[in-house]
């Protein structure tokens, strides 16, 4: 009788751990720096790319004032639908400098499939690059900006694209010289199901 009770208890514990043990976040484990699968340690650079045929659909980050006013980052990717086809080319966009506000979309109608970043102690900020992939001659349309992430400087970022047919094409960011943190607005777009003649929209 005691053995049966023990097995039942272990089953319940394993189910609860599976649901809540990793805070319920379904993020892909890339370089596992801690319990949440961060892709970087504080004050260190990183390079993250989705697997071929996938694009970034979620961005998560936590801020630490005591760690150089830096953030740890985590991303999740999703496969693109068959209507987009396979990526025809991928590239790293130009660098967005640390300590400055910037706005950038993937050139050549690309979608964001990764991020690269390097930390600069002198400005307590990071420079950023997008890794972009183009899908045949598809063009973006119905683009919009998300709300600011985080809502206030120093807060967590937890941005997930819940709409399967909207993709991240870029971002605009503001930098606070006082808080030494960034707020992001992600540029979300739909993509045509047919080829179009515009090289960059």
- pLDDT per residue as tens digits for the range 33-44: 445 689 999 999
d(CA 85, CA 94): 26
Residue 4 binned pLDDT confidence (cut-offs 50, 70, 90): low
Q: Please check the confidence at residue 194 and state whether its pLDDT lies above 90.
A: no
- Over residues 48-57, the mean pLDDT reads 96
Q: How far apart are CA 37 and CA 151, in angstroms?
A: 23
Q: What is the pLDDT of residue 2?
A: 56
Intra-chain end-to-end CA distance of the chain, in Å: 69
- On the 0-12 / 13-18 / 19+ scale of CB atoms within 10 A, 170 is buried
The percentage of residues in the chain with a pLDDT greater than 90, rounded to a whole number, is 71
Transcribe 46-60 into DSSP letters: EEEEPPTTEEEEEEE
Kindly report which listed range (3-12, 74-83, 118-127) carries the lowest average pLDDT score: 3-12
- The pLDDT-based confidence of 163 (bands split at 50, 70, 90) is confident
The yes-or-no verdict on residue 10 having pLDDT over 60 is no
Convert the pLDDT of each residue in 89-139 to its tens digit.
999 999 999 999 999 999 999 999 999 999 999 999 999 999 999 998 899
Strands (E) in 26-166, as ranges, are 46-49, 54-64, 70-79, 87-92, 102-105, 111-120, 125-135, 140-145, 157-160
Residue 41 burial class via C-beta count within 10 angstroms: exposed 0-12, middle 13-18, buried 19 and up: middle
Closest CA to 113 of 139, 137, 87: 87
Per-residue confidence (pLDDT) for residue 56, from 0 to 100: 97
Q: Cα–Cα distance between 199 and 86 in angstroms, integer?
A: 18
**Percent over 70 (pLDDT), the chain:** 80
The mean of the pLDDT values for the chain is 84
């Amino acid at each position: 009788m005691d053995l049966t009770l023990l097995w039942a208890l272990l089953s319940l514990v394993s189910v609860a751990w599976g649901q809540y043990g990793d805070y319920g976040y379904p993020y892909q484990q890339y370089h596992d720096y801690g319990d949440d699968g961060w892709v970087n340690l504080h004050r260190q650079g990183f390079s993250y790319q989705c697997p071929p045929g996938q694009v970034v659909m979620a961005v998560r980050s936590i801020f630490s004032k005591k760690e150089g006013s830096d953030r740890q980052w985590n991303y999740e990717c999703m496969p693109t639908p068959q209507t987009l086809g396979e990526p025809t080319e991928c590239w790293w966009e130009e660098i967005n400098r640390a300590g400055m506000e910037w706005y950038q979309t993937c050139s050549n109608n690309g979608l964001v499939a990764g991020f690269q970043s390097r930390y600069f102690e002198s400005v307590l900020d990071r420079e950023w690059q997008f890794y972009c992939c183009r899908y045949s001659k598809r063009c973006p349309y119905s683009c919009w900006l998300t709300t600011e992430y985080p809502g206030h400087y120093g807060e967590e970022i937890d941005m997930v694209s819940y709409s399967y047919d909207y993709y991240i094409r870029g971002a605009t960011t503001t930098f606070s010289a006082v808080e030494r943190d960034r707020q992001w607005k992600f540029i979300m777009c739909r993509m045509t199901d047919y080829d179009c003649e515009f090289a960059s929209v």
